[in-house]
Protein backbone atom coordinates (compact mmCIF):
# COMPACT_ATOMS: atom_id res chain seq x y z
CA UNK A 1 0.00 0.00 0.00
CA UNK A 2 1.25 3.46 -0.89
CA UNK A 3 1.58 6.40 1.44
CA UNK A 4 -0.90 9.23 1.04
CA UNK A 5 1.42 11.60 -0.82
CA UNK A 6 2.69 8.97 -3.25
CA UNK A 7 -0.83 7.79 -4.02
CA UNK A 8 -2.00 11.36 -4.61
CA UNK A 9 0.86 12.20 -6.97
CA UNK A 10 0.86 8.95 -8.95
CA UNK A 11 -2.92 8.66 -8.97
CA UNK A 12 -3.21 12.27 -10.07
CA UNK A 13 -0.93 11.53 -13.02
CA UNK A 14 -3.14 8.61 -14.04
CA UNK A 15 -6.23 10.80 -13.90
CA UNK A 16 -4.57 13.82 -15.47
CA UNK A 17 -4.97 15.94 -12.34
CA UNK A 18 -1.95 17.91 -11.15
CA UNK A 19 -1.27 17.70 -7.41
CA UNK A 20 0.88 20.53 -6.03
CA UNK A 21 3.05 20.50 -2.91
CA UNK A 22 0.60 22.84 -1.16
CA UNK A 23 -2.22 20.42 -1.94
CA UNK A 24 -0.21 17.55 -0.47
CA UNK A 25 0.29 19.50 2.75
CA UNK A 26 -3.44 20.29 3.01
CA UNK A 27 -4.51 16.74 2.25
CA UNK A 28 -2.09 15.40 4.88
CA UNK A 29 -3.69 17.67 7.50
CA UNK A 30 -7.16 16.59 6.35
CA UNK A 31 -6.17 12.93 6.54
CA UNK A 32 -4.67 13.20 10.04
CA UNK A 33 -7.74 15.00 11.40
CA UNK A 34 -10.04 12.53 9.68
CA UNK A 35 -8.19 9.61 11.23
CA UNK A 36 -8.25 11.17 14.69
CA UNK A 37 -11.93 12.16 14.64
CA UNK A 38 -12.95 8.85 13.10
CA UNK A 39 -11.97 7.12 16.35
CA UNK A 40 -15.05 8.60 18.04
CA UNK A 41 -17.17 10.04 15.22
CA UNK A 42 -18.54 8.05 12.29
CA UNK A 43 -17.02 10.00 9.40
CA UNK A 44 -15.94 7.29 6.96
CA UNK A 45 -15.52 3.53 6.66
CA UNK A 46 -12.62 4.04 4.25
CA UNK A 47 -9.28 3.65 6.02
CA UNK A 48 -5.60 3.54 5.09
CA UNK A 49 -3.55 6.18 3.30
CA UNK A 50 -3.86 4.79 -0.23
CA UNK A 51 -7.59 4.18 -0.01
CA UNK A 52 -8.34 7.59 1.47
CA UNK A 53 -6.07 9.24 -1.12
CA UNK A 54 -7.90 7.56 -4.01
CA UNK A 55 -11.47 7.05 -2.78
CA UNK A 56 -11.83 10.43 -1.07
CA UNK A 57 -9.31 13.00 -2.31
CA UNK A 58 -8.76 11.94 -5.92
CA UNK A 59 -12.38 10.86 -6.25
CA UNK A 60 -13.44 14.36 -5.20
CA UNK A 61 -11.03 15.91 -7.70
CA UNK A 62 -12.55 13.97 -10.61
CA UNK A 63 -15.02 16.88 -10.54
CA UNK A 64 -12.43 18.80 -12.57
CA UNK A 65 -12.67 16.16 -15.31
CA UNK A 66 -16.43 16.61 -15.60
CA UNK A 67 -16.96 20.34 -15.99
CA UNK A 68 -15.16 23.62 -16.45
CA UNK A 69 -14.27 25.46 -13.27
CA UNK A 70 -14.38 29.24 -13.18
CA UNK A 71 -12.83 31.36 -10.45
CA UNK A 72 -15.21 32.78 -7.83
CA UNK A 73 -17.96 30.26 -8.52
CA UNK A 74 -20.21 29.52 -5.55
CA UNK A 75 -20.45 25.79 -4.90
CA UNK A 76 -22.71 24.06 -2.39
CA UNK A 77 -21.69 20.61 -1.15
CA UNK A 78 -24.87 18.86 0.03
CA UNK A 79 -24.33 16.27 2.75
CA UNK A 80 -20.67 17.14 3.04
CA UNK A 81 -19.90 14.67 5.84
CA UNK A 82 -16.11 14.65 6.23
CA UNK A 83 -15.71 17.48 3.71
CA UNK A 84 -15.86 15.55 0.43
CA UNK A 85 -15.89 16.74 -2.27
CA UNK A 86 -16.10 20.38 -1.12
CA UNK A 87 -12.79 20.74 0.73
CA UNK A 88 -10.60 19.10 -1.95
CA UNK A 89 -12.26 21.34 -4.55
CA UNK A 90 -11.34 24.40 -2.49
CA UNK A 91 -7.79 23.17 -1.94
CA UNK A 92 -7.36 22.58 -5.68
CA UNK A 93 -9.03 25.85 -6.73
CA UNK A 94 -8.63 28.40 -3.88
CA UNK A 95 -10.78 31.13 -5.46
CA UNK A 96 -13.94 29.03 -5.23
CA UNK A 97 -16.50 29.95 -2.57
CA UNK A 98 -17.70 26.76 -0.85
CA UNK A 99 -20.75 26.15 1.33
CA UNK A 100 -20.83 22.83 3.18
CA UNK A 101 -24.29 21.55 4.17
CA UNK A 102 -24.32 18.96 6.92
CA UNK A 103 -27.03 18.04 9.44
CA UNK A 104 -24.92 16.04 11.93
CA UNK A 105 -23.54 18.16 14.78
CA UNK A 106 -20.54 15.85 15.25
CA UNK A 107 -19.62 16.14 11.60
CA UNK A 108 -20.10 19.90 11.69
CA UNK A 109 -17.63 20.04 14.60
CA UNK A 110 -15.13 18.11 12.49
CA UNK A 111 -15.63 20.45 9.54
CA UNK A 112 -15.12 23.49 11.75
CA UNK A 113 -11.85 22.05 13.05
CA UNK A 114 -10.74 21.14 9.53
CA UNK A 115 -11.43 24.57 8.04
CA UNK A 116 -9.65 26.25 10.93
CA UNK A 117 -6.63 23.94 10.61
CA UNK A 118 -6.39 24.50 6.85
CA UNK A 119 -7.03 28.24 7.21
CA UNK A 120 -9.44 28.22 4.31
CA UNK A 121 -11.18 31.51 3.43
CA UNK A 122 -14.63 31.65 1.79
CA UNK A 123 -15.77 28.33 3.21
CA UNK A 124 -19.05 28.34 5.12
CA UNK A 125 -20.77 25.56 7.04
CA UNK A 126 -24.54 25.42 7.35
CA UNK A 127 -25.98 22.86 9.72
CA UNK A 128 -29.21 21.88 8.01
CA UNK A 129 -31.04 19.12 6.25
CA UNK A 130 -31.00 19.65 2.50
CA UNK A 131 -34.80 19.79 2.36
CA UNK A 132 -34.83 22.70 4.81
CA UNK A 133 -31.90 24.43 3.13
CA UNK A 134 -33.74 24.50 -0.18
CA UNK A 135 -36.62 26.43 1.35
CA UNK A 136 -34.51 29.23 2.82
CA UNK A 137 -34.85 32.35 0.66
CA UNK A 138 -31.21 33.35 1.14
CA UNK A 139 -30.04 29.93 -0.07
CA UNK A 140 -32.59 28.88 -2.66
CA UNK A 141 -31.35 29.11 -6.27
CA UNK A 142 -28.24 31.04 -5.19
CA UNK A 143 -25.45 28.66 -6.24
CA UNK A 144 -23.60 28.16 -9.51
CA UNK A 145 -22.95 24.50 -8.75
CA UNK A 146 -24.31 21.90 -6.35
CA UNK A 147 -22.37 18.69 -5.70
CA UNK A 148 -23.28 15.57 -3.76
CA UNK A 149 -21.56 12.27 -3.05
CA UNK A 150 -24.52 10.97 -1.09
CA UNK A 151 -25.77 7.42 -1.35
CA UNK A 152 -29.37 8.46 -2.10
CA UNK A 153 -30.75 7.61 -5.52
CA UNK A 154 -30.53 10.27 -8.22
CA UNK A 155 -34.25 11.15 -8.14
CA UNK A 156 -33.91 12.02 -4.45
CA UNK A 157 -30.63 13.91 -4.86
CA UNK A 158 -32.14 15.95 -7.68
CA UNK A 159 -34.98 17.14 -5.44
CA UNK A 160 -32.50 17.99 -2.67
CA UNK A 161 -29.90 19.75 -4.79
CA UNK A 162 -31.49 21.39 -7.83
CA UNK A 163 -33.58 23.86 -5.76
CA UNK A 164 -30.28 25.33 -4.53
CA UNK A 165 -28.92 25.93 -8.05
CA UNK A 166 -29.60 29.11 -10.00
CA UNK A 167 -30.89 28.75 -13.58
CA UNK A 168 -27.86 28.36 -15.81
CA UNK A 169 -25.98 26.47 -13.11
CA UNK A 170 -25.35 22.75 -12.76
CA UNK A 171 -25.81 19.91 -10.30
CA UNK A 172 -23.12 17.21 -10.34
CA UNK A 173 -23.89 13.89 -8.68
CA UNK A 174 -21.03 11.53 -7.82
CA UNK A 175 -22.42 8.06 -8.46
CA UNK A 176 -21.20 4.50 -8.93
CA UNK A 177 -20.60 2.70 -12.23
CA UNK A 178 -24.10 1.30 -12.78
CA UNK A 179 -26.14 4.44 -13.30
CA UNK A 180 -28.37 3.66 -16.29
CA UNK A 181 -31.38 2.54 -14.25
CA UNK A 182 -31.17 5.58 -11.99
CA UNK A 183 -30.96 7.89 -14.99
CA UNK A 184 -34.18 6.46 -16.37
CA UNK A 185 -36.02 6.60 -13.06
CA UNK A 186 -34.84 10.12 -12.21
CA UNK A 187 -35.94 11.76 -15.47
CA UNK A 188 -39.26 13.03 -14.13
CA UNK A 189 -37.74 14.44 -10.92
CA UNK A 190 -34.99 16.21 -12.86
CA UNK A 191 -37.53 17.78 -15.24
CA UNK A 192 -39.87 18.92 -12.45
CA UNK A 193 -36.96 20.55 -10.60
CA UNK A 194 -36.12 22.56 -13.72
CA UNK A 195 -33.16 20.48 -14.82
CA UNK A 196 -31.98 18.63 -17.89
CA UNK A 197 -29.55 15.75 -18.02
CA UNK A 198 -26.52 17.11 -19.88
CA UNK A 199 -24.03 14.23 -19.81
CA UNK A 200 -22.52 11.44 -17.74
CA UNK A 201 -18.75 11.20 -17.39
CA UNK A 202 -17.31 7.76 -16.64
CA UNK A 203 -14.03 7.60 -14.70
CA UNK A 204 -11.98 4.65 -13.46
CA UNK A 205 -10.13 5.32 -10.22
CA UNK A 206 -6.47 4.22 -10.13
CA UNK A 207 -5.33 0.73 -9.13
CA UNK A 208 -8.75 -0.91 -9.42
CA UNK A 209 -10.27 1.20 -6.67
CA UNK A 210 -13.55 1.32 -8.52
CA UNK A 211 -15.40 3.19 -11.24
CA UNK A 212 -17.24 6.47 -10.93
CA UNK A 213 -20.05 8.11 -12.89
CA UNK A 214 -20.37 11.86 -12.66
CA UNK A 215 -23.87 12.90 -13.68
CA UNK A 216 -24.06 16.51 -14.88
CA UNK A 217 -27.53 18.09 -14.77
CA UNK A 218 -28.09 21.58 -16.18
CA UNK A 219 -30.53 23.84 -14.34
CA UNK A 220 -32.67 25.47 -17.04
CA UNK A 221 -35.74 26.76 -15.18
CA UNK A 222 -36.74 27.86 -11.69
CA UNK A 223 -37.84 25.07 -9.37
CA UNK A 224 -41.55 25.20 -8.41
CA UNK A 225 -42.09 26.66 -4.94
CA UNK A 226 -43.48 23.39 -3.52
CA UNK A 227 -40.09 21.69 -3.85
CA UNK A 228 -38.17 20.37 -2.07
CA UNK A 229 -40.83 18.68 -0.01
CA UNK A 230 -40.49 18.58 3.76
CA UNK A 231 -37.70 16.61 5.44
CA UNK A 232 -37.84 12.87 4.87
CA UNK A 233 -40.48 12.91 2.12
CA UNK A 234 -38.15 12.95 -0.92
CA UNK A 235 -36.45 9.76 0.26
CA UNK A 236 -39.67 8.11 1.42
CA UNK A 237 -41.64 9.01 -1.72
CA UNK A 238 -39.18 9.79 -4.53
CA UNK A 239 -40.58 11.30 -7.71
CA UNK A 240 -40.66 8.55 -10.34
CA UNK A 241 -42.10 8.27 -13.86
For residue range 84-137, what is the model confidence (pLDDT) as tens digits? 999 999 999 999 999 999 999 999 999 999 999 999 999 999 999 999 999 999
68-236 CATH choice from 3.40.920.10, 3.40.50.150, 3.30.70.3000, 3.40.50.300:
3.40.50.150
pLDDT in tens, 8-30: 999 999 999 999 999 999 999 99
What are the residue boundaries of the structural domains of the chain, listed by start? 68-236
Query: Tell me: the pLDDT tens digits for 171-211?
Result: 999 998 989 999 999 999 999 999 999 999 999 999 999 99
Burial pattern 9-42, b for ≥16 Cβ within 10 A else e, equals: bbbbeebebebeeebbebbeebbebbeebbeebe
Average pLDDT, the chain: 94
The residue-averaged pLDDT of 143-158 equals 93
Q: Are strands 74-78 and 143-148 parallel, antiparallel or unpaired?
A: parallel
Amino acid sequence: MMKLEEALIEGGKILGIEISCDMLDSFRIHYELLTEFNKHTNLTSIEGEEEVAVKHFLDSLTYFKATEIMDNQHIVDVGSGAGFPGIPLKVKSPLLAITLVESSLKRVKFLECLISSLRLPDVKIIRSRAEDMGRINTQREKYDVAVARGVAELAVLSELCLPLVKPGGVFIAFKGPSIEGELTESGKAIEIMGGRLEKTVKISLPWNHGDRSLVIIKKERYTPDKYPRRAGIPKKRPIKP
